[in-house]
Amino acid sequence: MTMALIETVNIGQKYAGQYILKDVNLNINRGEVFALIGPTGAGKTTLLRLLDLLEVPASGSVYFDGMDVTDNKSLRLQARRRMSFVLQKPVVFNMSVYNNVACGLRWRREKEATIRQRVSRALELADMAEYINRNARTLSGGETQRVAIARALAVAPEVLFLDEPTANLDPISTSKIEEVLAHIIGDQKTTVVMATHNMSQGQRLADRIGVIMNGEILQTGSPGDIFSTPQKKEVAEFVGVDNILSGVIVNRDNELVTIDIGGNLIQAISDYPIGEEVHALIRPEDITLAPRKDASSARNTFEGRIARIFPVGALVRVEVACGFPLLAVVTKRSAEDLSLAVNKRVYATFKATAVHIIKRWN
């Protein structure tokens, strides 16, 4: 087992006597891209600040490359000089773009020639080379963000922290930043830890995701794992599982279980025993709608009436009332072909394997 580059043991942080982060145990491995995702106010920024050693945790310990860097000032500075951080709302120093990017290198007492070379490389990477002599305070939001990224890259960090790198930017600047980030991730052997509330950004860029809510890490895993098999209801909600049904397992036949959802029975695959209280998670895109009850291998078919229809981009979300509300997503074209309308009678079908079962905790 390889040692993690950064490891936290039960770290917590409190502001004004209130814990906003509690008992976080997290390993960041060398070379990986780790995305912290969670809603605004979940504690992402605080956790990044603790990992980057900008703050001392109220409890617990932080290890960097095997060293305990929880509160030793000189070790913290030493470790911090191997990392850099792009703040959510980056600020630039009131000086030229060149001098901004050179700052971190000057503080490390690098030679002028090295600085010149590293600054121009970093600015090229961030596609900001032509702004080298501009006063950094005169730049737009997207340009400021890219200078901040170049400034963080110039010091050749082993770990790069990014806090919501595209949160306050327009779509064009966002895609430009993502392009730069994808380049860094692909090109350099840098460990990247980024916070984002944007699930799809996390999925696009990260090797591993940690879902954080209310100051706690609820689940870590590959984007595929988090997306397909969320372990908690809150995670499921956050990653866009719209159908979360509460029920009890009432029968099982090998792995095939029957779950009683308020009188309706659905079938799914699960290891949980009879009597277990569970949530059944079904992605709306896994549900098909039909005007008749077709012969199908799918184990679950429910008759219901369409309660609501609302378009989302090229798709249409359809809420079917079939004893319980079930949300399905179909293309606009399908919706037209089936002439879906409110109050129309439809059959909603999904496979037992499309149902993800998690234990109910409270």
State the residues that interact with another protein by CB under 8 A: 52, 54, 77, 80-81, 83-85, 87, 89-91, 93-94, 103-104, 107-108, 148, 151-152, 155, 161
Q: How far is the CB of 136 from another protein (least distance, A)?
A: 12
Q: How far is the CB of 256 from another protein (least distance, A)?
A: 53
CB closer to another protein out of 94 and 222: 94
Q: How far is the CB of 87 from another protein (least distance, A)?
A: 6
Q: How far is the CB of 114 from another protein (least distance, A)?
A: 15
CB closer to another protein out of 103 and 322: 103
Kindly report the number of other CB atoms within 10 A of residue 14's CB atom: 15
Distance (Å, whole) CA 321 – CA 309: 12
CB closer to another protein out of 55 and 237: 55
CB closer to another protein out of 92 and 278: 92
Q: What would the two tokens of residue 193 be?
A: 């830890």
Q: Which long-range contacts (CB under 8 A, 24 or more apart) does 321-325 make?
A: 322/264, 322/348, 323/261, 323/262, 323/263, 323/264, 324/245, 324/261, 324/262, 324/264
Distance (Å, whole) CA 37 – CA 39: 7
Distance (Å, whole) CA 268 – CA 256: 6
Number of helical H runs and strand E runs in the chain: 10, 20
Supply φ then ψ for residue 237, to 5 degrees: -60, -45
Q: What would the two tokens of residue 220 be?
A: 């870590």
CB closer to another protein out of 76 and 279: 76
User: Strand order in 264-269's β-sheet?
Assistant: 264-269, 256-261, 243-253, 277-282, 355-359
CB closer to another protein out of 107 and 361: 107
CB closer to another protein out of 123 and 289: 123
Half-sphere exposure of 274 (CA within 13 A, CB side): 6
Q: How far is the CB of 121 from another protein (least distance, A)?
A: 17
Q: How far is the CB of 210 from another protein (least distance, A)?
A: 21
Q: How far is the CB of 184 from another protein (least distance, A)?
A: 17
Kindly report the number of other CB atoms within 10 A of residue 310's CB atom: 9
Q: What would the two tokens of residue 147 be?
A: 């200078």
